[in-house]
Amino acid sequence: MAKAVPKGDYDGIRAEVRKVMKQPDYDDGSAGPVLVRLAWHASGTFSLVEHNGGSNGAGLRHGKEAADPANAGLYHAIEFLMPIQQANPWITHADLWTLAGVEAIKAMGGPDVPWQPGRMDYNDESHAEEHRGNISDRLPDGALGASHLRDVFGRMGYSDQEIVALSGAHTLGRCHADRSGFDGPWVVNPTRFSNQYFKLLSTRKWVPRKWDGPLQFENIMAGERLMMLPTDMALMEDPVFKEWVLKYAKDQNLFFKDFANAFGKLIELGVDRDDSGFAHLVRQAAKEGKP
Ligand code: CCH
C-alpha cells in the first residue's frame, strides 16, 4: 500500500517511488528502468512544428497510444505507479510518471534532473483525441539508423549531441522479446546509471546475433550476452554522433550534465503552463479565442 502524503509534498512522492522501485520478482529486481522508459515514451511523441504530443495528459493510459506496439510492456510501469496515484489523487498521472522517471534515474546513481509539476491528465480516449492530435508513429524504431534518429529527435528540437546524451539511458534495463522483439541488456549491471553504455559501445566488438529475431548485435561479457540495437550501432557509424559517444565514454561527469539537461527538456516538451503553473491546455483556449 502506498502512503498518502500532504498535497504538494513531491519529496514524499519521490520516497514512494523509491519504494515501488524495489520489485524482487520483476526483471533485474527493479522497476527503475521501465519507469524511465515510461517518462521517455510519454514525452517523446512531441512535435515542435505541430506543437502536440509530449508528457502532458498521460495519454498513454488510453486507446491508441496504449495500444501502440512501441509502448508494449509500459503497462508494467503504469501499474507500479498506480497505488501511489490512488493514495495521492492530488498528483496527476502525467506529473507522477515524469517525477518517477527522474527519481528512478537519481536512485540508480544518475544525475539530478530538473522537474516541475503542472501537467494535467486526459480523462479518457475521447478527451485525449480532442487534445493530443495525431501522434502515431512518432517514437523511434530500433531497426533503423542515424537519419531516422535525426528525424525523430529533430522533430522534438534536439541536436546531435543531445541525441547521443539521451541514448545513454540504454545503460538501464533491457529489451524483452515479447515486447519489442529485441532481447537482452546493454550492460552487465542494468540498474546502475553510468556511462557504461558508451564505454561498451565504443570499445567492444559487436557482431550480429545469430537467432530468429530481428537484427541486433551482441558481445559476450562476463558470461552475459549483451546487446546493441541497430540504432545504438548507428551512433558509432555516424562521425558526428561518434565524437559524442567517445566524449561521454571518457567523461562521465560530462555525460551526466548533458543527460540531465536533455532529459529535463524532454519531460517539459509541450507542457504549456498558465499563470497558475498548471497546464490548462493553454493553446486550446487560445485557438478558441478565449483569453
Ligand atoms: Fe530505449 N529502448 N530507445 N531509450 N529504453 C528500449 C528500452 C529502453 C529505443 C529502443 C528501445 C531511448 C531511445 C531509444 C530506455 C530509455 C530510452 C527497448 C526495449 C527498445 C527496442 C523495449 C523492451 O523490449 O522492453 C530506440 C530505437 C531509441 C532511439 O533513440 C531514450 C532517449 C531513452 C531515455 C532517455 C530504457 C530505460 C529502456 C529499458 C526499459 C526496460 O524495461 O528495461
184-225, pLDDT tens digit by residue? 999 999 999 999 999 999 999 999 999 999 999 999 998 999
Whether residue 167 has its Cβ less than 6 Å from ligand 1: yes
Q: Is the CB of 176 under 6 A from ligand 1?
A: yes
The per-residue pLDDT for range 223-246, each reduced to its tens digit, is 999 999 999 999 999 999 999 999
Count Cβ atoms within 10 A of the Cβ of residue 123 and give its class: 0-12 exposed, 13-18 middle, 19 or more buried.
exposed
Cell digits for 212? 530468429
Find the 6 Cα to ligand 1 centroid distance in Å: 33
Ligand 1: atom nearest CA of 40 is: 34
What's the pLDDT tens digit per position in 61-73? 998 899 999 999 9
The protein residue whose alpha carbon is closest to atom 43 in ligand 1 is 173
Q: Is the ipTM of this complex over 0.90?
A: yes
What CA–CA distance (Å, rounded) separates 188 from 211? 21
Q: Which CATH architecture has domain 10-139+264-287?
A: Orthogonal Bundle (1.10)
175 lines ligand 1 (CB under 6 A): yes
Q: How far apart are the first and last CA of the chain?
A: 43
Residue to probe by mutation, ligand 1, list 26, 40, 231, most atoms within 8 Å of CB: 40
CA atoms 165, 166, 172, 177: torsion sign: negative
Contact between 160 and 244 (Cβ < 8 Å): yes
Q: Give residue 278's pLDDT.
A: 81
Taking the domains of the chain in order of start, what are their residue ranges?
10-139+264-287, 146-262
Average confidence score pLDDT of the chain: 94
For the chain, where are the E strands, in sequence order?
174-175, 184-185, 207-208, 217-221, 224-228
Cell readout for 264 is 529535463
Which residue has the CA at smallest separation from atom 11 of ligand 1?
Answer: 142
> Could you tell me the CATH superfamily of domain 146-262?
Peroxidase, domain 2 (1.10.420.10)
CB atoms within 10 A of CB 221: 12
| Model pLDDT for residues 113-155, shown as the tens digit of each residue | 999 999 999 999 999 988 888 898 999 999 999 999 999 999 9
Give 7-57 pLDDT, tens digit per residue.
Answer: 999 999 999 999 999 999 999 999 999 999 999 999 999 999 998 999 999
| DSSP letter for each residue of 94-137 | HHHHHHHHHHHHHHTT-PPPP------B--SHHHHHHHH---TT
- Residues recognised as catalytic: 41, 186
Which amino acid is located at 9 in the chain?
D
Q: Whose CA is nearest to atom 12 of ligand 1?
A: 167
CA dihedral for 83, 89, 93, 95, sign (positive or negative): negative
Nearest CA to ligand 1 atom 10: 142
The CB of 128 under 6 Å from ligand 1? The reply is no
Distance CA 122, CA 56 (A): 8
